[in-house]
Amino acid sequence: MISFWKKNLVLLVGLSVGALVLAAAVAFVLPGPTGTTVGGSASGVAAIGGPFRLTTHDGTALTDAELRGKPFAVFFGFTHCPDVCPTTLFDITELLRELGPEANRLQVLFVSVDPARDTPELLRAYLSSFDPRITGLTGSEEEIAAAAKAYRAFHRKVPTEGGSYVMEHTATVYLMDRSGRFFSALDYHEGREAKLAKLKRLLRAG
């Protein structure tokens, strides 16, 4: 089992990087909403982000429109994730602690790509081990597919031995400004200081 997860983790991380590169490439060639071409090094990822409607771990509805006015961080995962998600959630918990009260303006969203298992109740129980400023989100398959598409986030169900499954998914944490525009991203393999610096920049910007 251990070697299986190791292999799977390598696969996951590889896919995450691949998905981000693909997302950047797609964003580069897609025209912007106004018809102007989105391209170049600065705006090549401008197509990340967009409308969503999901359900929080408290059972209330949340849309992207309600997030306007405050910066937020969003990433995709699932509570049965063996490694990447708990590591990311632990990382973010530590980063929020280091940022202190300044981080109260930052909303962190953990969107489940496994709605069949991740009910609001399970998300709430799972997230109680992490910073309370992290909000778990779930929804119907369609709602989650729409949110993942908006963020160019990849996810896929992979059967495992014993009749269960894992979800492969993009590990990137997307940092969005107070207008809901893509600001930057935290890479899974980045060091703590680099991540902290990006979050500080995001908070300073909005």
Determine if 15 is a binding residue for Ni ion (CB under 5 A).
no
Nearer to Ni ion, 84 or 175 (CB): 84
- Count the residues of the shown chain that bind Ni ion, applying the rule CB under 5 A: 4
Whether 151 contacts 169, CB under 8 Å: no
Q: Least CB distance from residue 176 to Ni ion, whole Å?
A: 20
Minimum distance from residue 160 beta carbon to Ni ion (Å): 14
Residue 89 sits in the site that holds Ni ion (CB under 5 A): no
List all residues 6 or more positions away from 88 whose beta carbon is below 8 Å from its beta carbon.
Answer: 75, 77, 171, 173, 188
Minimum separation from the CB atom of position 77 to Ni ion (A): 4
Amino acid at 17: V
Among 23, 47, 73, 85, binds Ni ion (CB under 5 A): 85
Cα–Cα distance for residue pair 163/96, rounded to 1 Å:
37
Q: Does 81 bind Ni ion (CB under 5 A)?
A: yes
Name the nearest CA neighbour of 113 among 77, 88, 139, 79.
77
Question: Which spans of this chain sit near Ni ion (rule: CB under 5 A)?
Answer: 77, 81, 84-85
